[in-house]
Amino acid sequence: MSATDPAAPRASALARIWAFAVELWDVIRRPSSVFGLGLLVLAGFVAGVMFWGAFNTALELTNTEKFCTSCHEMRDNVFSELKTTIHFSNRSGVRASCPDCHVPHNWTDKIARKMQASKEVWAHLFGTIDTRDKFVDHRLELAIHEWARFKANDSLECRNCHSAESMDITKQSPRASVAHQRFLFPGEKTCIDCHKGIAHHLPDMRGVPGWQ
């Protein structure tokens, strides 16, 4: 393919971009006449490692309690509620923080959730829940999203720590032991069916199954 003709001095911006793209494509598709194949492969490998490292580091930065609570919507509402619960402070000192429950640990699911979360960035920028009243108005909708997610993945984020296999029901209270044997072990119910509102305050529960 021949190089593009010198553009007319008054060519439109679109035309100039197109011409640049065509020229770039010409360079990319031609084999290198300067660098050896080995060097190119090695450079590509190193660049790939660096890119992957940077990508994952940036991703993990958005997966911390510090990042979540850097927005006042999270810090003043759901995070302050979490602080009073057993998932934040307890006898053994194990703490489940935001991403432990709200971000899947499996990589593909995590990426899918992170892409969904771009809508939450949008909501933050446009102040959808930037006051307490707005947050309370949206609480039911937000809770329903999370309940649906937990229901769909069989409460996977609960089970990352609380697996049914490693539960010793003899150490549980009589009520818990009976309920887990009747509903959890046969797979009739999943964690979130009964354990709603364990980490944050509940929205208006009228009409939610199992609630009055």
Partner 1 sequence: MIGKPWFLALAVLTATASTSLVAQTVSSGLRGATPLNEEGPAAPMSPTRNTAEREPRNYPEQPPVIPHGIDGYQIDINGNKCLSCHARARTGESQAPMVSITHFMDRDGQFLASVSPRRFFCTECHVSQSVATPPVSNDFVDIDTLLSRAAPGGRR
Among 8, 173, 186, 187, binds partner 1 (CB under 8 A): 173
Crossing angle of helices 107-116/118-125, nearest 10°?
Answer: 30
- In this structure, what token pair is assigned to residue 179? 């309920």
Residue 174 beta carbon to partner 1: minimum distance, rounded to whole angstroms? 4
Residue 168 beta carbon to partner 1: minimum distance, rounded to whole angstroms? 16
Q: What is the DSSP letter of 5?
A: P
Which residues inside 75-104 make contact with partner 1, applying CB under 8 A? 84-86
Q: Single out the segment in contact with partner 1 by CB under 8 A; choices: 30-38, 53-61, 97-105, 193-201.
A: 193-201
CA distance 61 to 68: 10
Q: Per CB under 8 A, does 210 bind partner 1?
A: yes
Q: Single out the segment in contact with partner 1 by CB under 8 A; choices: 15-23, 60-68, 108-116, 202-210.
A: 202-210
DSSP symbols for 124-185? HHTTTT-SHHHHHHHHHHHHHHHHHHHHHTTSHHHHTTS-STT--GGGS-HHHHHHIIIIIT
CA distance 182 to 193: 13
* Number of residues binding to partner 1, judged by CB under 8 A: 21
> Using DSSP, how many helices (H) and how many strands (E) does the chain show?
12, 0
141, with CB counted inside 10 A (0-12, 13-18, 19+), is exposed
Residue 65 beta carbon to partner 1: minimum distance, rounded to whole angstroms? 20
Q: Per CB under 8 A, does 194 bind partner 1?
A: yes
Nearer to partner 1, 6 or 174 (CB): 174
Nearer to partner 1, 59 or 202 (CB): 202
Nearer to partner 1, 100 or 197 (CB): 197
The residues that touch partner 1, with contacts defined as CB under 8 A, are 84-86, 173-175, 178-179, 183, 194, 197-198, 201-205, 208, 210-212
